[in-house]
Amino acid sequence: MTANRSRGRVLDTLMKEKRSGNLPGIYGRLGDLGGIDAKYDVAISTCCGALDNIVVDTVDTAQACVEFLKRHDIGRATFIALDKQQHLINRMQNKISYPERVPRLFDLVKVKDGRVLPAFYYALNETLVAEDLDQASRIAYGSTRYRVVSLDGKVIEIVGTMSGGGKTVSRGRMSSSVQQDTSENDPAVIQANERKLATLEQRLSELRIEQANLEESLASIKRNVREGKVTLHKLDIETKSLTEQVPALENQITQ
């Protein structure tokens, strides 16, 4: 319970930073970015530990989030950077026929924003869904090994280990519909970006005025330098003339 509250606090704080325009590269919690039929709720809630990970656009955004959390001592989070998952796209799109025609769990996830699909594939990979443990065992331990989860949440890993049991099952970590809007037309994001743009435009105007003042000062300095050079040249000529007169004056004095 405490861990859930901590994750919720971290997510709420980061999403607030996103809406304010400070961390615009955040998409949201992975489990909120997709939806799945209620029939598969227990299966995906059990076998997908990454549902609580936070999806961001780049590693740079992930680093900025980590630094923000550390600076404000809010908590910890795990991030999935989409720019590092692009190599999964070909495998993600490669749909084949699986044993006993069972579905790939990834293919059952519905999203509104296709950009987040590589994050779901990263989290689920080729995990298959079986009706029950008997079917899961037949498929998982067949000639080709698969990671398989049954509808009631029993998981068989590729290495052959099996997990399950207990009186309670994990559920509710993903809804039947997308919970987090990643649209760039999100009113809150638009307003935050408009405020940020206004601030940047004001700062740009100030910098242009400062630049004009500096250019004027530089022009004045250049004029002074030119005038100084002319004056220096005149002084050199006068000094040379006076220097040439010194011997004659000295002779007159000694006579």
Q: Domain ends where: 183, 207, 226? A: 183
Domain C-terminal end among 183, 211, 231: 183
Same-domain pairing of 27 and 68:
yes
Burial 15-28 (b: 16+ CB within 10 A, else e): bebbbbbebbbbbb
Does one domain contain both 224 and 167?
A: no
54 class by beta-carbon count within 10 Å (0-12 exposed, 13-18 middle, 19+ buried): buried
- Looking at the structure, do residues 166 and 201 belong to the same domain, yes or no? no
pLDDT in tens, the chain (255 residues): 455 667 889 999 999 999 888 898 999 999 999 999 999 999 999 999 999 999 999 999 999 999 999 999 999 999 999 999 999 999 999 888 899 999 999 999 999 999 999 999 999 999 999 999 999 999 999 999 999 999 999 999 999 999 988 778 888 888 888 877 776 556 666 666 677 778 888 888 889 989 988 998 999 999 999 988 988 888 888 888 888 888 877 777 876
- Tokens found for residue 71: 């600076």
Regarding whether 213 and 137 lie in a shared domain, the answer is: no
Q: What is the DSSP string of the chain?
A: -HHHHHHHHHHHHHHHHHHTTSSTTEEEEGGGSEE--GGGHHHHHHH-GGGGSEEES-HHHHHHHHHHHHHHT-----EEEGGGSGGGHHHHH---PPGGGPPBGGGG-EES-GGGHHHHHHHHTT-EEESSHHHHHHHHTSSS---EEETTS-EE-TTS-EE--SS-----SS-SS--S---TT-HHHHHHHHHHHHHHHHHHHHHHHHHHHHHHHHHHHHHHHHHHHHHHHHHHHHHHHHHHHHHHHHHHHH-
When divided into structural domains, the chain yields a total of 2
Q: Shortest CA distance to 42 belongs to which of 192, 156, 154? A: 154
Q: Are 201 and 75 within one domain? A: no
pLDDT in tens, 61-79: 999 999 999 999 999 999 9
Burial code (b: 16+ CB inside 10 Å, e: under 16) for 120-150 equals bbbbbebbbbbeebebbbebbeeeeebbbbb
**Of 183, 202, 227, which residue constitutes the final position of a domain?**
183
171, amino acid identity: R
- β-bridge mates for residue 155, sequence order: 149, 163
136/146 Cα distance (integer angstroms): 9
Q: Which domain holds residue 239?
A: 185-255
Q: What is the pTM of this model?
A: 0.70
pLDDT tens, position by position, 84-127: 999 999 999 988 889 999 999 999 999 999 999 999 999 999 99
